[in-house]
A = this chain, B = another copy of it.
Amino acid sequence: MEIKANIIHGDCTEELRKIEENTVDLIFTSPPYADARKNTYGGIHPNKYVEWFLPISEELLRVLKPTGTFVLNIKERVLNGERNTYVLELILEMRKQGWLWTEEFVWHKKNSYPGKWPNRFRDSWERLLQFNKSKKFKMYQESVMVTMGDWAKTRLRNLSDTDKLRDESKVGSGFGKNISNWLKRDKAYPTNVIHMATECNNKNHSAVFPDALPEWFIKLFTKERDMVLDPFMGSGTTIKVAQRLKRNSTGIEIHPSYIEMISNEINPVEHCLFEKEETYEPIEHQRRKKICRKQHRHVSL
């Protein structure tokens, strides 16, 4: 079985038009942030940001499967002492296009950029806006479960009387299936706050986000062999993670130097062995770190 990573050099809107409709399972991207200073790389003025982005989101809506998800990593900049409102306006306008604003995750950047200002603290979080095409989207929650707190282990050993009573009162037939849910459990579902350091950067081209961020959302919203799209590929973090996780992927990037760099790291076609049945193998924080480190060695060698 083959896994393909399709790297496209070109303008985002233009190239998106060539992609067939209803073919993408997950769009994960971090578009260039608005920047009031002109002549910086791809900086779009905050006042023009929404009108610049809407044609793109229109195409993204077209190529996404009805069961797919669009995760937009974005944070508004400070302009004249205020948080600019272009992200808020973007959400409202995208809803008019037909997008559903399902959820807003918070990425807490544990090691945020240092600095001190008289009127504000360090900005230590970013938005991860989840948009959907329909209410019936695919979500594989078990693949991102986290280890439970110590408290729950006690509970697993001996269920408290309260739980038994609760269950009996509700079901009326003693030990229902609810109890067995608890017994199996040593992991808990995560929340909509994601704690990740901005570590694991490539030294040549620093990534906007760590590998673990797209990894989390790719696991959550896709299964093996699904299609992942990043219309603002940059250094290709999303694509590389997708390939490692055996997802097909498409990355679009307008800057040539990124394209060159990535072509050395990505195999356009990779032959993989798949499990007969998809079994979830949890990746602990420790192990994730190790994977990160290994990849870096590979890149830098």
Please give, as numbers and ranges, the residues of chain B lying within 8 Å of A123 by CB-CB distance: 191-192
Q: Let me know if A124 is at the binding interface, CB within 8 A.
A: yes
Which 5 pairs across A and B sit closest by C-beta, in order of nearness? A124-B191, A88-B88, A81-B135, A122-B191, A124-B193
Q: Does chain B have a CB within 8 A of A121?
A: yes
The verdict on A119 contacting chain B, using a C-beta distance below 8 Å, is yes
- With A81-B135, A88-B88, A92-B85 known as contacts, the answer to whether A189 contacts B102 (CB < 8 A) is no
Instruction: Please report the C-alpha to C-alpha distance between residue A225 and residue B35 in the assembled complex, in whole angstroms.
Output: 41
**A199 close to chain B: CB less than 8 A:** no
A191 CB contact (under 8 Å) in B121, B137, B141, B190: B121
Contact flags (1/0) for A266-289 with B, using CB distance below 8 Å? 000000000000000000000000
A168 at the interface (CB under 8 A from B): no
Contacting residues, chain B, for A191 (C-beta < 8 A): 112, 121-125
User: Would you call A82 and B106 a contact (CB within 8 A)?
Assistant: no
A 112-155 to B, binary, CB cutoff 8 A, 1 in contact else 0? 10001011111111000000000101010100000000000000
Contact residues in B for A95 (Cβ distance below 8 Å): 85
Chain B minimum-CB-distance residue to A135? B81
Tell me whether A102 and B116 are in contact (CB under 8 A): no
Q: Is A89 an interface residue (CB 8 A)?
A: yes
Decide if A106 touches B104 in the complex (CB within 8 Å): no
Count of chain A residues near B, Cβ 8 A: 36
Q: Which residues of B contact A108 (CB under 8 A)?
A: 106, 108, 193
**CB-defined contacts of A122 to chain B, threshold 8 Å:** 189, 191-192
> Of B121, B190, B192, which one neighbours A125 at CB under 8 angstroms?
B192
Interface pair A102/B88, CB less than 8 Å apart: no
Q: Is the CB of A118 within 8 A of B135?
A: no
Q: Once the chains bind, are A92 and B91 in contact (CB under 8 Å)?
A: no
Given pairs A83-B101, A116-B189, 20 additional interface contacts (CB within 8 A)? A80-B135, A81-B100, A83-B102, A83-B103, A85-B92, A102-B119, A102-B120, A103-B120, A106-B108, A112-B191, A118-B141, A119-B135, A119-B137, A120-B192, A121-B192, A123-B191, A123-B192, A124-B193, A125-B191, A125-B193
Return 8 A-B CB contacts under 8 Å, by A number. A82-B100, A83-B101, A85-B91, A85-B101, A106-B125, A119-B139, A120-B192, A122-B192
A226 CB to nearest B CB, Å: 18
Name the residue in A91, A120, A121, A135 with the highest tally of chain B Cβ atoms < 10 Å from its Cβ: A121
Judging by beta carbons under 8 Å apart, are B139 and A118 in contact? yes
A90 to chain B, nearest CB (A): 10
Chain B residues near A135 (CB-CB < 8 A): 80-81, 119
In the bound complex, CA of A92 to CA of B88 (Å): 8
Give the complex CA separation of A87 and B190 in angstroms: 24
